[in-house]
């Protein structure tokens, strides 16, 4: 099954999602529907995705990308900036309505998120004016077009719109925000996905090593 899907050019993460659906059907067939005599869902295993992207732009690089959005794409530029400031997916941004903004926060309903769970995203002072006139008067295709022109202008054709989500999380980690907070802000279902941003805050280990004893002094204190 996996070999056939790979030959179609599907990413490993996409293949894993499809395998998960099959596993669920097999589990129900044995445990709920009594269609199978043996539990077969355990026979399917999901390899770890090898196509994970690790592209993180600095604050300066994000600013250059935003500046490179052509002038005629005013609304699209707002969408791109809001993606940088909230880590929201493009589909979530395009689905925003006035009712999603409450008390300086974006509140996403279960039907607006990928995992079907509500999510609350605080808005910075820079982000709040961007949601003053929702919904955005543009389309996802226009936003993608504006983004692609901007990345070409700065010579970074490797950047994808979804990478802005990773940049948001990485910047939060670099400022010392906890991984649990980043998990909740991004709407991850577990810490496994969020842990990829741990590298962005090298100072998080300073307090750990500070608690280590001084080994070289141990023998001296005994005499």
pLDDT for position 102:
95
pLDDT band at 31 (very low <50, low <70, confident <90, very high): confident
Mean of all residue pLDDT scores within the chain = 84
Contact 69, 77 (CB under 8 A): yes
What angle is formed at CA 65 by the lines to CA 62 and CA 71, rounded to 5 degrees?
Answer: 135
Token pair 């077009």 is at which residue?
145
Q: What is the β-pairing status of strands 119-122 and 105-108?
A: antiparallel
Q: Which residues of 93-118 are buried (b: 16+ CB within 10 A; e: fewer)?
A: bbbbeeebbeeeebebeeebbeeeee
**CA 28 to CA 95: how far, in whole Å?**
33
Of the candidates 194, 190, 94, 184, the one whose C-alpha atom is nearest the C-alpha of residue 136 is 94
**Bond before 191 cis per omega within 30 degrees:** no
Reported as a single tens digit per residue, the pLDDT across 180-221 is 999 999 998 878 778 878 777 777 667 667 777 778 766 655
Tell me which fold the domain 59-202 belongs to. hpI Integrase; Chain A (1.10.443)
Q: Where are the domains of the chain?
A: 2-43, 59-202
**CA 189 to CA 171: how far, in whole Å?**
20
Q: What mean pLDDT is predicted for residues 130-150?
A: 96
| Structure tokens belonging to residue 78 | 């707002």
Three-class DSSP category at 127: coil
Q: Which range is most confident: 46-50, 61-65, 188-192?
A: 61-65
Least confident interval from 72-76, 79-83, 140-144, 170-174: 170-174
DSSP output for 55-95? ----HHHHHHHHHTS-TT-HHHHHHHHHHHHH---HHHHHT
Taking 70 as the threshold, does the pLDDT of residue 51 lie above it? Answer: no
pLDDT for position 139:
96
**CA 165 to CA 123: how far, in whole Å?**
15
């Amino acid at each position: 099954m996996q070999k056939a899907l790979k030959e179609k050019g599907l990413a490993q993460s996409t293949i894993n999602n499809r395998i998960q659906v099959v596993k669920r059907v097999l589990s129900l067939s044995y445990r709920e529907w009594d269609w199978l005599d043996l539990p077969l869902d355990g026979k399917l295993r999901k390899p770890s995705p090898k196509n994970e992207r690790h592209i993180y732009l600095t604050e300066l690089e994000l600013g250059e990308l935003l500046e490179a959005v052509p002038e005629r794409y005013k609304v699209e530029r707002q969408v791109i900036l809001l993606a940088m400031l909230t880590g929201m997916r493009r589909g979530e941004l395009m689905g925003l309505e006035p009712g999603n903004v409450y008390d300086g926060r974006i509140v996403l309903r279960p039907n607006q998120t990928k995992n079907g769970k509500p999510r609350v995203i605080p808005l910075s002072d820079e982000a709040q004016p961007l949601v003053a006139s929702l919904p955005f008067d543009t389309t996802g295709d226009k936003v993608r077009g504006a983004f692609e022109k901007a990345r070409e202008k700065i010579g970074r054709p490797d950047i994808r719109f979804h990478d802005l989500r990773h940049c948001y999380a990485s910047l939060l980690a670099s400022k010392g925000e906890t991984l649990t907070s980043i998990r909740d802000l991004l709407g991850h279902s577990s810490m496994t996905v969020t842990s990829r941003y741990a590298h962005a805050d090298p100072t998080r280990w300073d307090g750990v090593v500070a608690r280590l004893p001084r080994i070289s002094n141990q023998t001296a204190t005994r005499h």
